[in-house]
């Protein structure tokens, strides 16, 4: 099912989600390095990765919501999409809470409790990513009707097979 939030023939949401997910994971890795070595530079880098990840998550969610609203009601895709979006929203809320707690701390340092929250959020993001994969790879959401191993370029006029 081709979804409406597209650019140059491709769905926007799957292109944008890699950034916040990668930034959140990278932030957690830098936070772990800080907790192991107590070098505040790593804490600051982790904080700023989480900052960029949160901004990216909001930007990725916008076309995701547009696509989700286009799904037919009472379908498995609509239900899975709701779970995907709700779980990703929860992940974003956790990282925003962590960000707010660290905002005014010197070097934006974190303690072990905040790190545990980050790890839980990353695990939840993995489950949400699985739901996203289920939507695309199993249910065909955002897959062009003309898709196939010999399909023409998405930039070709009409996007038909050739």
* Boundaries of domain holding 92: 14-61+79-131
In a domain, 84, yes or no: yes
In a domain, 44, yes or no: yes
Per-residue pLDDT at 159 exceeds 70: no
In a domain, 9, yes or no: no
pLDDT value for 160: 42
Burial of 138 (0-12, 13-18, 19+ CB in 10 A): exposed
In a domain, 48, yes or no: yes
Per-residue pLDDT at 52 exceeds 60: yes
In a domain, 151, yes or no: no
d(CA 145, CA 148): 9
Decide if 2 contacts 159 (C-beta within 8 A).
Answer: no
d(CA 120, CA 68): 25
What is the pTM for the complete model shown? 0.88
Per-residue pLDDT at 161 exceeds 60: no
Tens digits of per-residue pLDDT, 5-22?
778 878 889 889 999 999
Per-residue pLDDT at 47 exceeds 80: yes
In a domain, 8, yes or no: no
In a domain, 104, yes or no: yes
Query: Read out DSSP for 66-101?
Result: HHHHTSPTTSHHHHHHHHHHHHHHHHHHHHHHHHHH
Decide if 95 contacts 50 (C-beta within 8 A).
Answer: yes
Total domains in the chain come to 1
In a domain, 5, yes or no: no
> Binning pLDDT at 50, 70 and 90, where does residue 1 land?
confident
């Amino acid at each position: 099912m081709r979804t409406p939030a597209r650019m140059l023939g491709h769905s926007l949401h799957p292109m944008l989600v890699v950034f916040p997910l990668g930034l959140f994971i990278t932030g957690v890795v830098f936070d772990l390095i800080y907790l192991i070595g107590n070098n505040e530079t790593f804490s600051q880098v982790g904080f700023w990765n989480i900052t960029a990840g949160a901004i990216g998550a909001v930007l990725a969610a916008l076309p995701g919501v547009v696509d989700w609203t286009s799904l037919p009601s009472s379908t498995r895709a609509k239900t899975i999409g709701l779970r995907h979006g709700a779980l990703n929203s929860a992940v974003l809320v956790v990282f925003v809470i962590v960000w707010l707690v660290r905002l005014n701390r010197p070097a934006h340092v974190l303690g072990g409790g905040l790190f545990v929250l980050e790890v839980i959020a990353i695990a939840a993001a993995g489950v949400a990513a699985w739901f996203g994969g289920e939507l695309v790879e199993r249910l065909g959401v955002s897959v062009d009707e003309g898709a196939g191993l010999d399909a023409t370029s998405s930039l070709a006029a009409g996007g038909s097979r050739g």
